[in-house]
Amino acid sequence: MKIAVEKDQDKPLLTDGHHTVEITRIDEGTSEYKGIPFFTCRFENEEGYVSQRFYQSPAGMPAIVNLFKTAGIDVKEGAELDTKQLLHKTLDIEVGERSYNDPETGNERTLKQATNFLLS
């Protein structure tokens, strides 16, 4: 089997801590277990990347609003936000690990995540 490595796929995950990053990619999807819409941002710099999902749910909206505000995008009640507006925005993030129980297996899983979005 031949596997093609596309641009920037050879980058490592960002180390834990503070990073100034650019949002280089946005993908959309639906959660595997509850069918909740989400978008994923790829936060990237010369050192590596981290991808973060943002769920369009009541619990996820504060993080989405904070991300848009941090990216310098005005957020008003009743407005529709377009994730394409986030592309190529530069911001500061904190990278760390988060553990949770996999709903399918019950096993604990750990993933890298971005938090504390700050305008750079």
In angstroms, the CA 33 to CA 24 distance is 27
Q: What's residue 8's pLDDT?
A: 67
Percent share of the chain, pLDDT over 70: 95
Reported as a single tens digit per residue, the pLDDT across 56-102 is 999 999 999 999 999 999 999 888 999 999 999 999 999 988 777 77
Reported as a single tens digit per residue, the pLDDT across 6-16 is 776 778 999 99
Fill in the DSSP letter of residue 74.
Answer: -
Give the number of other CB atoms < 10 A from CB of residue 23: 21
Amino acid at 89: K
Q: What is the mean pLDDT of residues 100-110?
A: 76
pTM: 0.82
List, in order of start, the domains of the chain with CATH numbers: 17-119 (2.40.50)
Please say if the pLDDT value at position 39 is more than 90: yes
